[in-house]
Amino acid sequence: MENVLRLVETVDTEGNPIRIITNRFDLSAEEFGEIYRFRWAIETFFKWMKQHAKITVLYGTSDQAVENQVFLALIKYCLLLLVKLEQKTNQSLLQISRWLKVYLWQHSLDWISRINFKSKRTSRGRQKRR
């Protein structure tokens, strides 16, 4: 092997041991573990953004464009969450967002009434026979 590697052993925030292979010898194990935890927090944040704020494609490449898109997605998520809490509904944020798209150019009360609509169906659909 041409490259010399280093095995760094550290623990995560829950106390679980982590082994990391690196070619950086200028950092102590504690510093490297801290950098790893910071990077993992960033990865976790972007995973949450993709799942909840529905950012799957970045439409701009500049720093300002990316920041604007992230802020707009967070604002949308917070507003939908506020609607869900205010209406005390069991609908998911995804369903509330879908109904917003359907009722976008109609009166807002139509959208709110659709969110609060209770089905009169008592059937649970087709059931598996035993």
Report pLDDT digits (tens) over 1-11: 578 888 888 87
Yes or no: say if 80 and 96 are a contact pair by the CB < 8 Å rule: yes
Q: How far apart, in whole angstroms, are the C-alpha atoms of residue 46 and residue 58?
A: 12
What is the model's pLDDT at position 91?
86
Q: Which amino acid is present at 15? A: G
- Number of neighbouring beta carbons within 10 Å of residue 96: 19
For the chain, the maximum distance between any two Cα atoms, rounded to a whole number of angstroms, is 71
Instruction: Specify the pTM.
Output: 0.63
pLDDT digits (tens, 9 = 90+) for 29-83: 888 888 888 888 889 988 888 888 888 788 898 999 999 998 999 999 999 999 9
CA 2/CA 10 separation, integer angstroms = 26
Higher pLDDT among residues 118 and 66, named by residue:
66
79 vs 73: CA distance, rounded Å: 10
What 3-state class would DSSP assign to 22? strand
- CA dist 76 and 42 (Å) reads 21
